[in-house]
């Protein structure tokens, strides 16, 4: 069965009980850049598409500033079903859902994975440190590059400096895609994704 079809009927965690739609992902299968958010919000749950609300508008704007369109990218979330009331996804829910993300990364095969906020960043980088510490640089990750940045919702709530930091991080995405930054390398055994089991 197709991965998206599996997700559409998934009941592997409790979020299945309260969702309207599974929000699997959206964008180009040829995307060189993939965004990973936290989880669907209300609008996303109703439409079945990621980042269609205010946070999505800001994401579109940040993309246009580096000359990309949303349709050039692939966008998904750590959990594919909306946590009720927009609460944080729980560790058991993230664990139940992570094989879908792993499969999406393998299938889309992006050059750059941009993790939006703490949940995606901690999951991929196996990090305890928060996004404020981790953002601002590129990380070697399974022959790809992970670039962590703030969640767009944080920029909407927060100060202008959060937005400015996101603009810096998006410039790094652009530079990495343009090949102006050498792709980092790392031995497979040391790779966080191996230890996490994210790739089997
Ligand atoms: N916030 C997220 O983390 N994901 C979405 O899809 C929308 C808002
Ligand atoms: Fe399945 Fe993920 Fe939805 Fe939980 S959040 S029911 S694991 S698709």
pLDDT score of 199: 40
Cα of 117 vs centre of ligand 2, distance in Å, is: 20
Query: How far apart (Å, rounded) are the C-alpha atoms in residues 50 and 178?
Result: 26
C-alpha distances in Å from residue 96, one per residue of 3, 16, 90, 99, 177? 14, 11, 10, 7, 31
Question: Is 128's pLDDT higher than 80?
Answer: yes
Q: Please state, for a pLDDT cut of 70, what percent of the chain lies above it.
A: 90
pLDDT score of 192: 54
Question: Is 195's pLDDT higher than 90?
Answer: no
> Which ligand 2 atom minimizes the distance to the CA of 39?
5
pLDDT score of 158: 85
Cα of 37 vs centre of ligand 1, distance in Å, is: 5
pLDDT score of 159: 86
**pTM flag (> 0.85):** yes
Question: Is 14's pLDDT higher than 60?
Answer: yes
Residue nearest to atom 4 of ligand 2 (CA): 13
User: For residue 96, which ligand has an atom nearest its CA?
Assistant: 2
For the chain, the straight-line distance linking the first and the last C-alpha, in angstroms and rounded, comes to 18
Domains in the chain and their CATH numbers?
A: 2-196 (3.40.470.10)
pLDDT score of 133: 97
How many other β-carbons are positioned within 10 Å of the β-carbon of residue 5?
10
Q: What is the mean pLDDT of residues 122-147?
A: 96
Q: Please state, for a pLDDT cut of 90, what percent of the chain lies above it.
A: 88
Q: Any idea what the Cα angle at residue 64 is, between residues 53 and 82, rounded to 5°?
A: 25
10 lines ligand 2 (CB under 6 A): yes
Residue-wise pLDDT for 25-64, tens only, equals: 999 999 999 999 999 999 999 999 999 999 999 999 999 9
How many other β-carbons are positioned within 10 Å of the β-carbon of residue 100?
23
Cα of 107 vs centre of ligand 2, distance in Å, is: 19
pLDDT score of 78: 98
Residue 42 near residue 82, CB atoms below 8 Å = yes
Residue-wise pLDDT for 136-159, tens only, equals: 999 999 999 999 999 999 999 988
């Amino acid at each position: 069965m197709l991965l998206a079809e599996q997700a559409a009927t998934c009941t592997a965690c409790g979020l299945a009980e309260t969702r309207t739609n599974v929000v699997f992902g959206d964008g180009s299968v040829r995307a060189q850049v993939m965004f990973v958010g936290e989880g669907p919000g209300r609008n996303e749950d109703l439409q079945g598409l990621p980042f269609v609300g205010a946070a999505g508008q800001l994401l579109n704007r940040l993309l246009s500033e580096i000359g990309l369109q949303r349709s050039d990218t692939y966008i998904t979330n750590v959990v594919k079903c909306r946590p009720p009331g927009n609460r944080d996804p729980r560790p058991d829910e993230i664990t139940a859902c992570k094989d879908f993300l792993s499969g999406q990364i393998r299938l889309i095969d992006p050059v750059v994975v941009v993790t939006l906020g703490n949940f995606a960043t901690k999951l991929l980088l196996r990090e305890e440190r928060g996004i404020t510490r981790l953002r601002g640089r590129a990380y070697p990750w399974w022959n790809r590059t992970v670039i962590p940045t703030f969640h767009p919702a944080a920029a909407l709530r927060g100060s202008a400096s959060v937005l400015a930091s996101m603009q810096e991080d998006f410039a790094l995405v652009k530079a990495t895609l343009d090949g102006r930054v050498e792709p980092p390398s790392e031995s497979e055994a040391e790779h966080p994704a191996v230890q996490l089991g994210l790739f089997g």
